[in-house]
Amino acid sequence: MPSTLSAAEFDRAARLLLEGRLVAFPTETVYGLGANALDADAVTRIYAAKRRPATSPLIVHVASIEMALTVVSAWPETAALLANKFWPGPLTLVLPKAAAIPPIVTAGLSTVGLRMPSHPVALALIRAAGVPLAAPSANRFTELSPTTAEHVRHSLGGDVDYVLDGGPCDVGIESTVLSLTESRPVLLRPGGISRAALESVVGPMDSAETPSGGAHTAPGMHARHYSPRTRLILVSNGDLPRQGHGIYLQHTRAPHSSAAEVLQMPHSAADYAGRLYSALHQADDANADWIAVDLPPAAPEWEAVHDRLRRAAFRD
């Protein structure tokens, strides 16, 4: 059991989950808003708390391969290979779902996304509850994902019954989502495991397009997502808006204006991802007129970061 939290805290959280309540908990990616994945009424509370549309499915979190097998109706060799290499870790596999998973979890689809988180608090909680947990990010839908317990409290307030505080998340962006239901794997969402790492196991993959309507095959596929309240713009040459005062997330290019407070971002893709949401939360809390982001390189290792930034900056 993680030493920073007491047995009583885990017992309380597990009891609440089995009573159909909502518990926020840390994973290595972001904080999740957890409910018993086998309880349709409890999962309904997730959608209500997040203001999440029913077309956006939830990821189911498990603590073992044995538990994973109870929520899917097929476990192909590819799934076994990927789970053996990347679980526990930030990889979600989309597979045909078992009848035990209520339709509300999967937006009515016949598939379910599942993963085994590597955070010790998440694993201990799932084991204490003894059931798989449906757990999207613990924030309002399309808003900034939480990487600390304080982010959760600030976003959801009293709509979450209990928060397990396990400190800041390490990976800092959501899991990679990979569908194994087609003739070859389809990358639905880039994330904590790179495309290159996955292709080293499964070979070439297809990429999903942003859906135009109906149920989405994975979370995080809406055009606008991960967004701060403050207007966010992406810049590639250091040019900032001519009006107002803002926050500039600098990567390599200094701003061509003094109209911004500079937050220096890490140089490596992994460290940048780990800092991204916390930096955006910090910038959003500054009540600036805008947030400008110095775009990192268009290199393969930055794919997940670019995905988050593009969706965060999207405006209808």
Short-list 118, 127, 219, 220, CA closest to 166: 118
- Hey, how many other C-beta atoms are within 10 angstroms of the C-beta on 30? 28
Verify that 93 and 26 share a domain, yes or no: yes
List Cα–Cα distances, 65 to 111, 113, 197, 263, in angstroms.
Answer: 17, 14, 21, 41
Tens of pLDDT, residue by residue over 17-72, are 999 999 999 999 999 999 999 999 999 999 999 999 999 999 999 999 999 999 99
Q: What is the pLDDT of residue 274?
A: 96
Residue 211 pLDDT class (50, 70, 90 cuts): low
Verify that 27 and 130 share a domain, yes or no: yes
Q: What is the pLDDT of residue 1?
A: 52
Verify that 24 and 170 share a domain, yes or no: yes
Question: Does residue 273 lie in a domain region?
Answer: yes
Q: Give the helix/strand (H/E) hosting 263.
A: strand 260-264
Q: What is the pLDDT of residue 209?
A: 74
CATH number of the domain bearing residue 130: 3.90.870.10
Q: What is the pTM of this model?
A: 0.94
More confident residue, 224 or 288: 288
What is the distance between the alpha carbons of residues 8 and 10, in angstroms, rounded to a whole number? 5
Question: Does residue 277 lie in a domain region?
Answer: yes
- In single-letter form, the type of residue at position 82 comes to L
Verify that 110 and 172 share a domain, yes or no: yes
Verify that 293 and 199 share a domain, yes or no: no
What is the distance between the alpha carbons of residues 127 and 130, in angstroms, rounded to a whole number? 5
Q: Do residues 139 and 145 touch, judged by C-beta distance below 8 A? A: yes
Verify that 48 and 170 share a domain, yes or no: yes
Would you mind telling me the total number of residues written for the chain in this entry? 316
* Residues whose CB is less than 8 angstroms from the CB of residue 208 and which lie 6 or more positions away in sequence, other chains included: 179, 186, 187, 188, 217, 218, 221
Q: What is the mean pLDDT of the chain?
A: 94
- Token pair 């009583």 in the structure block, residue: 8
- Lowest mean pLDDT segment, chosen from 118-127, 169-178, 201-210: 201-210
Question: Does residue 117 lie in a domain region?
Answer: yes
List Cα–Cα distances, 105 to 53, 66, 88, 245, in angstroms.
Answer: 12, 20, 21, 42
Question: Does residue 174 lie in a domain region?
Answer: yes
What is the distance between the alpha carbons of residues 111 and 124, in angstroms, rounded to a whole number? 26
Per-residue b/e over 64-93, b at no fewer than 16 CB within 10 Å?
eeebbeebbeebeebbeebbeebbbbbbbb
Question: Does residue 86 lie in a domain region?
Answer: yes
Among the candidates 207, 240, 265, a domain finishes at: 207
Verify that 16 and 136 share a domain, yes or no: yes
SS3 content of the chain, % helix, strand, coil (to 5): 30, 20, 50
Tens of pLDDT, residue by residue over 215-259, are 777 777 777 888 999 999 999 988 999 899 999 999 999 998 889
Question: Does residue 161 lie in a domain region?
Answer: yes
Short-list 267, 270, 264, CA closest to 293: 264
Verify that 189 and 236 share a domain, yes or no: no
**Which range marks the domain in which residue 47 is found?**
7-207
Name the token pair of 224: 């606008």
DSSP, collapsed to helix, strand or coil, labels residue 278 as helix
Question: Does residue 212 lie in a domain region?
Answer: no
Query: What phi, psi does 47 have (nearest 5°)?
Result: -60, -40
Among the candidates 191, 207, 223, a domain finishes at: 207
Q: At what angle do helices 269-284 and 303-313 cross, to 10 degrees?
A: 20
DSSP, collapsed to helix, strand or coil, labels residue 161 as coil
Number of independent structural domains in the chain: 2
Q: What is the pLDDT of residue 210?
A: 67
Question: Does residue 75 lie in a domain region?
Answer: yes
